[in-house]
A = this chain, B = another copy of it.
Amino acid sequence: MPSITPGTVVIGQSGGPTAVINQTLIGVAKACLQRPETFTRVLGAVHGVNGIMKGEFIDFGAEDPANLEVVAGTPSSALKSVRRKASKEDCEQIFARFRENNVRAFFYIGGNDTAETTHIIDEMAKASGYDLACFHCPKTIDNDLRVTDHCPGYGSAAKFVAQAFMGDNLDNRSLSGIKVNIVMGRNAGWLTAAAALARILPQDGPHLIYCPEADFSLEAFCTDAEAVYRQLGRCVIAVSEGIHGPGGKEIIDAKEVDSHGNKQLSGSGALGDFLADTLKAHLAKVMPDKKHRVRADTFGYLQRCFPGVVSETDAREARLAGVAAVEAVLRGERSGSIAFKRLDNPYRIECFTTPLATVAKETKPMPRELINAAGNDIVADKLLPYLRPLVGDLPRIGRLAGTKG
């Protein structure tokens, strides 16, 4: 196998932050710093490709090694992030900087959009004969990257969602009524589905779970919620921000679109408020004899980088993904994306390299068979064994034996 040309390494972070994205960053940086004969300088690009184009770099060799470990345990992108797909003009600027700094390895940490930019840069390097090792390290709370069994960042966000629903189920049990919680995930229901981990006793919420992989009907939503509410006197509902009707029909209009064409659903309470209002109107019609307490919360940005709510497995695997990318380059691999293969009994993972094209651009939804036929719940027997090892231990919940539910 060809060995890598000695030179500078550039590491970047791109897309939305996660609780463990800096584990991957420090995994790459420390693994490179250990091989100074190959990686002569280890640079971090500030705000991803934007930093490369502007020549805004930090030098990992000048950082305090002990502080790097504190950074690894800190949520959000320590190098700061960017949402930018590299255009042809961007790439020309990028390669000008690469030449200036004799950059021979590029590691880009992010989701499918980040993999796409990495792929574009890799293709351009090959086309122009520029000698560059080019790797994508996975991260996304959405868990929607193709090929890999699961994504670094997902386990910690899933833990946050599970704990949030554990608390909210107890809150709803205490004061009754209907509660709708909107969970992140534009295209995939993985994070919303993690709400199911909050169920301990049979009557625990979430009682209904709506993922974007099943067509959403406002009418069915209302009758589903009404049925649970009539039976238990309460109802907790998990709804993905990405739900839509048949053929992708929007539930409400979303206006903003980012440079990748993603619509802005996060950072607004509109969907939750709309669903709560719709439910209130429905209950006022079908159960007019009493007042109904209906509330909605939109978990928002808290889900993706809440300090102190981190899955230990997720943190360890995120670190590993960074180290594995450097090891792949040292083995002579020239480009790819790091993916996880799951091995069971006991649960463990192996890292492998998959071509950038297999991860770039498109995402992987949750398989429809993990959702029930009615489209209002997950299939616990199939989903929970997949989820539990990624999230790890959850807080212990105690209930008085004399109380019901």
Contacts and interface: CB of A to CB of B under 8 A. Distances in A.
A13 B171 CA distance: 13
Interface in A264-321: 264, 266-270, 272-274, 276-277, 294-302, 304-309
Given A62-B402, A261-B274, A307-B395, 14 more contacts: A13-B174, A44-B402, A58-B401, A67-B401, A73-B396, A79-B403, A80-B174, A83-B175, A168-B302, A262-B273, A266-B295, A267-B297, A269-B269, A307-B394
Given A80-B403, A277-B262, A398 B70 contact: yes
A269 B295 contact: no
> Which range contains the number of A residues in contact with the other chain?
35 or more
A16 B175 contact: yes
A367 interface: no
A167 to B, nearest CB: 5
Interface of A: 13, 16-17, 19, 22, 44, 46, 57-59, 62-64, 67-83, 163-164, 166-168, 170-171, 173-175, 179, 260-262, 264, 266-270, 272-274, 276-277, 294-302, 304-309, 394-403
Given A269-B269, A401-B63, A302 B302 contact: yes
Nearest to A64: B401
A273 B302 contact: no
A80 B401 contact: no
A202 to B, nearest CB: 17
Contacts of A269: 268-270, 272-273, 296, 298
B299 A79 contact: no
Contact of A297 (B17, B298, B398): B298
Nearest to A308: B395
Given A174-B80, A297-B300, A400-B78, A167 B305 contact: yes
B398 A71 contact: yes
8 contacts: A74-B398, A75-B170, A76-B167, A77-B174, A171-B301, A297-B300, A297-B302, A298-B300
Most buried by B among A16, A68, A305: A305
A55 B117 CA distance: 66
Contact of A400 (B16, B71, B398): B71
Given A277-B261, A398-B67, A306 B267 contact: no
Given A261-B274, A273-B261, A297 B307 contact: no
A308 B77 CA distance: 24
Contact of A296 (B62, B69, B179, B268): B268
Nearest to A19: B167
Nearest to A77: B174
Interface centre among A44, A57, A268 (most CB of B within 10 A): A268
Contacts of A273: 260-262, 268-270, 273
Nearest to A57: B402
Contacts of A299: 302
Contact of A302 (B75, B164, B276): B164
Contacts of A167: 19, 75-76, 301-302, 305-307
B307 A403 contact: no
